[in-house]
Chain A
Amino acid sequence: MSHALDAEPRLSPKAKAALSEGKKAERRLGLLLCAPAILIMAAVAGWPILYSLWLSLQRYDLKFPDRTEFVGLDNYVTVLTNPYWWNAMWVTVLITVVSVAVELVLGMALALIMHRTLVGRGIVRTSTLIPYGIVTVVAAFSWRYAWTPGTGYLAETVAGGDPVLTEKIPAIMVVTLAEIWKTTPFMALLLMAGLALVPDDLLKAAAMDGASAWQRFTKVMVPVMKPAILVALLFRTLDAFRIFDNLFVLTAGSQGTSSVSMLTYNNLIKGLNLGIGSTMSVLIFIAVAVIAFVFVKLFGTAAPGGDGGGRR
């Protein structure tokens, strides 16, 4: 892009006219090629978001459709003063923070193993892709049966026969574990891409200068990998915040283990309350936007999208 700008003043007026003709054609083609993607995203994501804003301002319960009316911000007051909502919010935040923190540590270890292993690199990479690819519901059932007393291999040995999924805190821990198992490989792959950017010479030089393995890690690798780490953290934080599948199968949100997505689903699909459901949708959207904004503000251009056109 910048090359084209630099070159332009040097062209004769005639060539410039031809260029702008070509430029116009290029613009048209570009927009034309993007049109289907833009139309679908606008119709299936853009419009519904606006519509849910509108729905969130209505009293709209499908069980009592004739009592539908515009109520302004009443739904927001209802939701934001509701203890279930705040409980779900804390559960979601807890699962997000714990799982992302553990995943960062585990993922880094896994990335180092995958990056540096001397034997069986293919096998390691292949098997770590399985948790990433496997259907979340399938993995969740595997965990559920593993922790079910009488059926599972973990229930007797680890939990001593306790039905862990029926108590709030243990259940949240199991859900968090399931989440960590499933997504650590993804984190590791993103971190591994960052590791590949660390120059070997630099590590060798640091080793020559007497830096210990830990110093080489914190003083050489981490600074080079910082952008990759931040991208991985952002992706995973936003992804963990929308946790639904694991919870649905493992606890179905009982004993106060609902996440915000789970609570919204229950109000909407089970309770058929479109007004409240949409209000929660909008609030979750705002929460996610705030998280993304904080990441971008804190880390500036290191965050994806921050450097616009992307590095080449």
Chain B
Amino acid sequence: MAGIGGAVTTGRKARWTVLNVLVVAYALVPVLWIVSLSFKTKETLGDGNFIPRAWTFDNYKAIFATTEFVRALVNSIGIALIATAVAVVFGTMAAYAIARLDFPGKRLLVGVSLLIAMFPQISLVSPLFEIERTLGLFDTWPGLILPYITFALPLAIYTLSAFFREIPWELEKAAKMDGATPGQAFRRVIAPLAAPGVFTTAILVFIFCWNDFLFAISLTSTESSRTVPVALSFFTGSSQFEDPTGSIAAAAVVITIPIILFVLFFQRRIVAGLTSGAVKG
């Protein structure tokens, strides 16, 4: 790579380094700031210093001692995992059909799911609020899982059908010619090829569910199904005289950890997943 377009001079390298440092700082400063807040002691919380003058784990200890946060964390994890699992399974089925089979209404399905992906979520909140209250789904796990699946499905179908189009399906036929049963051909040949795409999609869908705030705040009313982003916005500190800043910062850092892990380990996949659907149309 380095050879293209002449030798890479030290000057050019230095210029790129400066640009890169700028980009990394842009991305990380707000995150480091909330991390810094979460480690500040009560006394130094208001000093406005970017780096804590005194460090403490008290904020973390405090939030994990409240049911408010722990319950919300359990809700967040459970709801996001279930919604992701269902959306990916149904999305995989639909995407396989779209990528490989010819059937009536295929374009309509693609069009409609694109429409849903671009939907203003608030437009669904009012009717869902009323429908879920009538059906008894309001403030329950399924009450959040269902809208998450609905909005995750278009994302899953889009990303997966783009991935599936790239799979060399002739290999399946070749395996069958060599005497493999359809089941074996699928397990040994197709599944390993499709797995990375499915996995990438699962990450994107999980991030979407993990991130949601509007549905979570509108369709829940108690701790029993409130997710962390919503619980955060209701934090008042352990007593009403206490400033909740430290607790909010600590809780915010906790729910950022999975995102950081995904990004660190699956950077390439996430980039591929985000861009595949968009470029392929």
Instruction: Report the count of interface residues on B (CB-CB < 8 A).
Output: 101
Known: A26-B101, A130-B28, A146-B30. A41 touches B281 (CB 8 A): no
B205 CB contacts on chain A under 8 angstroms: none
The A contact surface, by secondary structure, is: helix
Q: Which of A40, A134, A143, A239 has the most CB of B within 10 A?
A: A134
The stretch of B58-66, B127-135, B180-188, B192-200 in contact with A is B127-135
Nearest CB on A from B127, distance (A): 4
Residues 252-265 of chain A: 1 if any B CB is under 8 Å from the residue's CB, otherwise 0? 00000000110011
Nearest CB on B from A198, distance (A): 12
Cβ-defined partner of B111 (8 Å) among A30, A152, A305: A305
Determine the distance from Cα of A194 to Cα of B121 in the docked complex, in whole angstroms: 28
The B contact surface, by secondary structure, is: helix
Do B20 and A123 touch across chains, with their CB atoms under 8 A apart?
Answer: yes
Q: Say yes or no for A13: interface residue by CB 8 A criterion.
A: no
Cβ-defined partner of B274 (8 Å) among A30, A186, A304: A186
Q: Say yes or no for B120: interface residue by CB 8 A criterion.
A: yes
B146 CB contacts on chain A under 8 angstroms: 40, 44
Do A113 and B20 touch across chains, with their CB atoms under 8 A apart?
Answer: yes
Determine the distance from Cα of A132 to Cα of B203 in the docked complex, in whole angstroms: 13
Nearest CB on A from B88, distance (A): 11
Do A284 and B13 touch across chains, with their CB atoms under 8 A apart?
Answer: no
Within 8 A of B (CB), among A22-81: 23, 26-31, 33-34, 36-38, 40-41, 44-45, 47-49, 51-52, 55
Do A38 and B252 touch across chains, with their CB atoms under 8 A apart?
Answer: no
Determine the distance from Cα of A165 to Cα of B92 in the docked complex, in whole angstroms: 44
Known: A124-B23, A232-B278. A33 touches B101 (CB 8 A): yes
Within 8 A of A (CB), among B116-174: 116, 118-131, 146-147, 149-150, 153-154, 157, 162, 165
Do A242 and B271 touch across chains, with their CB atoms under 8 A apart?
Answer: no
Cβ-defined partner of B97 (8 Å) among A30, A49, A152, A265: A30
Q: Which of B97, B149, B264, B267 has the most CB of A within 10 A?
A: B97
Q: Say yes or no for A216: interface residue by CB 8 A criterion.
A: no
The stretch of A97-105, A167-175, A273-281 in contact with B is A273-281
Q: Say yes or no for A206: interface residue by CB 8 A criterion.
A: no
Q: Say yes or no for B211: interface residue by CB 8 A criterion.
A: yes
B5 CB contacts on chain A under 8 angstroms: 204
- Size bracket, chain A contacts: 35 or more
Which residues of B line the A interface, CB within 8 A?
1-2, 4-5, 8, 12-13, 16-17, 19-20, 23-24, 26-28, 30-31, 33-34, 37, 45-46, 48-50, 90-91, 93-94, 96-98, 101-107, 109-114, 116, 118-131, 146-147, 149-150, 153-154, 157, 162, 165, 207, 210-211, 213-214, 217-218, 228-229, 232-233, 245, 248-249, 252, 255-256, 259-260, 262-264, 267, 270-271, 274-275, 278-281
Q: Which 3 A-B pairs rank lowest in CB-CB distance, beginning with the nearest?
A: A30-B103, A48-B127, A193-B275
Which residues of A line the B interface, CB within 8 A?
1, 4, 23, 26-31, 33-34, 36-38, 40-41, 44-45, 47-49, 51-52, 55, 110, 113-114, 117-120, 122-139, 141-143, 145-146, 150-153, 155-156, 181, 185-186, 189-190, 192-194, 197, 200, 204, 228, 231-232, 234-235, 238-239, 241-242, 244-245, 248-249, 260-261, 264-265, 268-269, 274, 277-278, 280-282, 284-285, 287-288, 292, 304-305, 307-312
